[in-house]
Amino acid sequence: MSNYPGYRGESLTFLKKHNVVVGDSVKVSSDSGYMGILMPRYEYSDDNHIVLKLENGYNIGLKIENIKKIEGITSNSMKEEKEITKPQINSNLPRILLISTGGTIASKIDYRTGGVKPMLTADELNTAVPELIKIANIETEVLFSEPSEDLLPEHWNKIAKKLDSYATSDYKGIIIAHGTDTMHYTTAALSFALSGFPIPIVLVGSQRSSDRPSSDAALNLIAAARFIVECAERGIYIVMHNNTSDDDVACHLGTRVRKNHTSKRDAFQTIGGPPAFLVKNETIMRNFTGAYFKTKEYTPRINWETRVALIKYYPGLDPKIIDYFLESGYRAIIFEGTGLGHVGKVMYEHVGKAKKKGLFLGMTSQCIDGAVRMTVYESGRDLLNLGVVPLSNMISETALVKAMWALANTKNIDEMEKLMKQNIASEYSD
């Protein structure tokens, strides 16, 4: 692989002349002084700039003609990885299991490509955050290392079965390092499959990789460990920054949360209310007054049926999309309708056809907050008469996952409908 990915022409000549390559730590004198790591460039970028990643984690571009001097400080490609040492066990502290599945929290910047790759092991995460050893004895395990956009229901199955194997362990709780893009799908899946799990399960991610100075990984991990030890509230949670500062971290119920921002630290928000808990330094603040699991006994049902579709209605949607799912053998459709739970009349004939074919049809809303109420307008009542089931204020992604789970764990559509209407893991908020 080239030592100068993305560089060509003048910029390539400049770097070779000064004997520095991508990945090197460099000192640059220009309009000001800069220290950082030389980063790769995009293939079609111009040839008169170089890119540095500064110590604060941000990238800047510097025009070659303005650079007075550049010198290499250390060669990143030649640096040896720090030795990973397991922390000593403190018999006075509880045990927490940290399982790594990949994602940004378990990633490093690849200075050859400029991208973020899954590279950190669970042991490295533990070692990188020394504050953890003051809270609990952290034991680590790598289940797989995948960005969350590549996760499928079979990965949920693997995670759930691994967790189930620890249901009778003496761990105080379990932390799962997970990518943020589909983390709320995984927490919904685990909430239904592992209903009543006897200890808390906390999924933790980060918006910036763990080796960046601006990473949010450490605080999220520390808060997750503290929440498990000091609160021990069973359930499945997402623990992430509550705001853009480091003042507090939010603990969201796994079925009532979604990612609402692409890159901010506080990307995750509880829908329909405040986060269930807030971790402020060493204080746990409780906002949630209900019972996460409606069932008291642990009754694992680890199975998903993927022939479920999520259809977002919009003006101009071709109703024949429903016919496609019918012909493809799908057994359930979750609609993300407008307002109180509506789709246009152009869809009615095809909705009716799907119901006659025996599909489960559920209705959620595109609105971020509020509940489906299909008795208010004539269009909603028409859909009720066609057999569409209103799903109150269940989040559409949660409804999709629950339908996959309910379909796989019932004998027929009637049983599935009953299960979809039950409030199993606080998927319906009060």
**257 vs 277: CA distance, rounded Å:** 13
Q: Is residue 410 flagged as an active site residue?
A: no
Q: Is residue 168 flagged as an active site residue?
A: no
User: In what side-by-side order are the strands of the sheet with 360-365?
Assistant: 308-312, 332-337, 360-365, 389-390
Q: Is residue 181 flagged as an active site residue?
A: yes
Q: Is residue 259 flagged as an active site residue?
A: yes
Q: Which two tokens stand for residue 34?
A: 């800069």
Residue 141, CA distances (Å) to 177, 183, 285, 286 in order = 10, 19, 30, 30
| Options 182, 186, 216, 259, the catalytic residue | 259
Positive or negative CA dihedral for 243, 246, 248, 254? positive
**13 vs 93: CA distance, rounded Å:** 57
Q: Which two tokens stand for residue 341?
A: 């739970």
- CA nearest to 63, candidates 50, 82, 76: 50
| Options 24, 123, 181, 248, the catalytic residue | 181
**80 vs 211: CA distance, rounded Å:** 15
Q: Which two tokens stand for residue 414?
A: 């009637």
| Options 104, 255, 270, 410, the catalytic residue | 104
Residue 22, CA distances (Å) to 15, 57, 344 in order = 9, 16, 55
Residue partners of 313: CB distance under 8 A and separation at least 6: 335, 336, 337, 338, 342, 343, 344, 347, 366
| Options 127, 180, 255, 270, the catalytic residue | 180
Q: Which two tokens stand for residue 79?
A: 């640096």
Just list the catalytic residues. 104, 180-181, 259
